[in-house]
Amino acid sequence: MSLRAGEVFRDANYPEYTYVRRRDGDVEDRLADYLFKEEAVVSISGPSKSGKSTIVRHVVQNYDRTPDYIVEVRGNNIDSGDDFWKCVLKELGEPTSRHYESRQGTREQDRFTIGAAIQALTAKYSTSTTEEDFDVIVEDYDLGLSTILDIYNGEYSDDDETPNDDFVIFVDDAHKIPDSVHTPVAENIKEGLDKGLKFCIGYIDYRSDALTAADIDLAERVESVELQPWKTQELSKIARKGFDALEIEIDDSVIRVLAEESIQSPQLMQKLCYKLCTNTGYYFGDNDWEVMNVDEEFVIDLLEEVAGSIKTQYKTEFDILTGKARGKSKKPFEWIDGNSGNRYLTLLRGIAQNPPGTSLSLEDLRTRIYSECRGDGPEPGNITNDVIRISKWIDKSANTENFVFDYVEDREKEVQIPEPGIIFCLRWSDVIGFQPNLQSTIRA
C-alpha cells in the first residue's frame, strides 16, 4: 500500500519518515546515555517548536537502552505542586484520587429505611433505643508519587493498557509553570528522582533551568542538552526525505523557499510540505518520480493560505500585539508601501521584515522599523516603551499563552517572539497588511 502524504509530513506527531538528526551530531546519543542511568533528570532547552518533544520520542522509540514509554505533561497545566503528580497520573490513564468507605456497628434490617440509609452515608445515625449505633465513614484521598512508583515498578494498574514498565516523565514547556510554584514542583521532581524515576524537562532556550534551579540539590544533578536553532539546510532535509519517500521530484529552489519561511521551525516546515502536496494533488506515494512544477505565485498563495488557517490560533494575541484590544494610538505612521498605521502595527512590520527571526535586539528592531517608515518613525524611547508595554499586556492576559512576545532586558535588551507561527502570520496573513518578498528565487 502506498504512503500517504499525511503519513510522511507530520506537524503534530512523530515524523517517522522525515526525522532529521540534528547537526549537533551527538544530541540523540547523549540523551539516550543520560536516560540509561538508574535515575535521571535532563534539561532540554531550545527555541520554541524546535523539536524538543520529537527528539525525546525519537530516542525512546529507537534506542534500546532508554525507557520504553513517554509520559508527557505540559507546563501550562501545572498551577500547584499537587498538580504535578495529578498530571502524571492522568497521562498514565489512572485516577488521581480514591474513594474509601468503612462501616461500623450493627442494625436491624426491618427497621432500617431507605431514607435512613442515605442519611447514614454522611453522619452518625441511631435507628432506635433497641438498635446499636453504626457509622459510615466516607474518605477521599489523593493519589501521588507512591502510586506512580507502583506503576513504574510494575506492581499496580487499574488498566491493562497502563505502561507497567520503565518510562520517562517529560515535562514540556516547563517555562510556562508559574514562578510561584517552581519550588514545590522542583521538590516533587527531586523526590521522584530519589526514588528512581527519570525526567526530561523542556524549556525555551532563554528561560532554561528556571524550574530545576528552584531546588539547589536538584540543580546539581541535572544533565543538559541544548538544541540550536534549525538552519535552512536542516529544514530542507525534511522536505527532501519526505518527497523522496513519496517518489516526487521537486526543485531545490522550492524547498529552500519553504525552509526559509518556516522561521526555524521543523513543525511549520512539515505543515508547508504537506500543504504543498495536497494543493498539487499528490496525496499518495508511488509517483514514479513525477516532477512537481510550481512557480513563485503558487508558493506565495500557499504561504498565505497556511497563514490564514493558523492565524485564528492567535486571535487574542494579535488583538493585543496590534493595540486593537487597548484602543487606537493617536498618531499614524506612513509606510513605504503607501499605507499607514498606528505605532503597534509599525513595530510589528519591523518584526515581519526579511530575514524573519524569533529574536531581535532592540537596536536591530528600531532599524527595521525605521526602514518601513516614510518620513519620521516612532521615537526610540517610544519603541522601547511600546515593547515593554506589549510584553506586560501579554503576561497579564488570562487568554494568551505566555512568552509569545517577551522583552528580556538582562540579555542585551532583546525582543523574543518564541512562537514561529506568530511571525509567519505577521508576514503572510492579513493581520498587519504586510507583504514580504520571498528571500530566494524559485527557478522556473
Distance CA 270, CA 296 (A): 19
In the chain, where the domains are located: 27-93+146-226, 97-142, 313-428
How confident is the model at residue 1, as a pLDDT? 65
The sheet carrying 40-46 orders its strands as 69-74, 167-172, 198-204, 40-46, 223-226
198: closest CA among 166, 230, 176?
166
3-state secondary structure the chain: CCCEHHHHCCCCCCCCCCCCCCCCCCHHHHHHHHHCCCCEEEEEEECCCCCHHHHHHHHHHHCCCCCCEEEEEEHHHCCCHHHHHHHHHHHCCCCCEEEEEEEECCCCHHHCCHHHHHHHCCCCECCCCCCCCEEEEEEEEECCHHHHHHHHCCCCCCCCCCCCCCEEEEEECHHHCCHHHHHHHHHHHHHHHHCCCEEEEEEEHHHCCCCHHHCHHHHCCCEEEECCCCCHHHHHHHHHHHHHHCCEEECHHHHHHHHHCCCCCHHHHHHHHHHHHHHCCCCECCCCCEEECCCHHHHHHHHHHHHHHHHHHHHHHHHHHCCHHHCCCCCCEEECCCCEECHHHHHHHHHHCCCCCCEEEHHHHHHHHHHHECCCCCCHHHHHHHHHHHHHHHHHCCCCCCCCCEEECCCCCEEECCCHHHHHHHHHCCCCCCCCCCCCCCCC
CA 129 remoteness from chain centre? 65
Whether the full predicted model's pTM is greater than 0.95, yes or no, is no
Distance CA 82, CA 347 (A): 41
How many Cβ atoms are within 10 Å of 359's Cβ, its own excluded?
18
How confident is the model at residue 22, as a pLDDT? 81
How many Cβ atoms are within 10 Å of 340's Cβ, its own excluded?
14
> Where does 27-93+146-226 sit in CATH, by number?
3.40.50.300
Distance CA 16, CA 18 (A): 6
Contacts of 254 (CB under 8 A, 6+ apart): 276, 292, 294, 299, 442
pLDDT tens track for 85-144: 999 999 998 888 876 666 665 655 545 444 444 444 444 444 445 556 555 666 666 788
Question: CB of 342 within 8 A of CB of 328?
Answer: yes
* Percent of the chain whose predicted confidence (pLDDT) is above 90: 60
pLDDT tens track for 338-389: 999 999 999 999 999 999 989 999 999 999 999 999 988 999 999 999 999 9
Distance CA 277, CA 273 (A): 6
Positions of the chain with pLDDT lower than 50, given as ranges: 110, 112-128
Residue with grid cell 493560505, as numbered in its chain: 305
Question: CB of 2 within 8 A of CB of 285?
Answer: yes
19 vs 48, 296, 314, CA distance in Å?
17, 27, 27
